[in-house]
């Protein structure tokens, strides 16, 4: 399984979010950047901290012209409860069959746990940054925002 790296074109995908809305990578092309973060499980302590960090910085992502999308293998129903419980304003995609993880080559951590990896994808679909850290949940937000600022600076 080849991991998607900086400079690669993000694979297209289509999946259903917690609200039953069909989300597709191609729908963002030419429109906005995408911050796609893979996490192991709804309601686990580190995953909750990470999701809430994205929630708390959500306006910064919106102001930067980016969509935020979380992905785990949890069910749509689990995502509905997770989003409601923590007031998460972004899309959560259910990857029950692991096809999204496989498409991005998102590795497992310690060979067992689904990896925690964030991809920052520019409006043209190019992966501009990949950050992987199983325990540093807050750094995913910091890394993504720094990359979005860098992308914005390149447009000026």
Instruction: Please give the average per-residue pLDDT across 99-112, as a whole number.
Output: 83
Q: What DSSP string describes 122-145? A: -TTSBEEEEEE-SS-HHHHHHHHH
Nearest to 18, CA basis, from 63, 72, 55, 59: 72
Q: Mean pLDDT across the stretch 120-139?
A: 91
pTM: 0.93
CA distances from 144 to 20, 84, 134, 154 (A): 26, 24, 15, 15
Nearest residue to 13 via CA among 32, 28, 31? 28
Please tell me the predicted confidence (pLDDT) of residue 7.
Answer: 94
- Report the pLDDT value the prediction gives residue 156, as an integer from 0 to 100: 47
Fold (CATH) for 14-155: Glutaredoxin (3.40.30)
47 included as an active-site residue: yes
Contact yes or no for 118/143 (Cβ under 8 A): yes
Sequence spans of domains, the chain? 14-155
Q: What percent of the chain is modeled with pLDDT above 70?
A: 95
Kindly report, residue by residue over 9-53, the tens digit of the pLDDT.
Answer: 999 999 999 999 999 999 999 999 999 999 999 999 999 999 999
Per the residue annotation, which of 47, 83, 100, 117 is the catalytic one?
47
């Amino acid at each position: 399984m080849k991991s998607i790296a900086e400079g690669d074109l993000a694979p297209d995908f289509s999946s259903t979010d917690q609200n039953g809305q069909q989300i597709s990578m191609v729908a963002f092309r030419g429109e906005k950047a995408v911050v796609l973060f893979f996490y192991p499980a709804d309601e686990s302590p580190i995953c909750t901290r990470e999701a809430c960090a994205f929630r708390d910085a959500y306006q910064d992502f919106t102001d930067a012209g980016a969509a935020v999308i979380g992905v785990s293998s949890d069910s749509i129903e689990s995502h509905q409860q997770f989003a409601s419980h923590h007031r998460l304003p972004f899309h959560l995609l259910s990857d029950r069959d692991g096809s999204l993880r496989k498409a991005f080559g998102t590795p497992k951590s310690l060979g067992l746990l689904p990896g925690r990896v964030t991809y920052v994808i520019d409006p043209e679909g190019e992966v501009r940054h990949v950050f992987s850290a199983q325990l540093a949940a807050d750094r995913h937000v910091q890394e993504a925002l720094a990359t979005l600022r860098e992308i914005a600076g390149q447009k000026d």
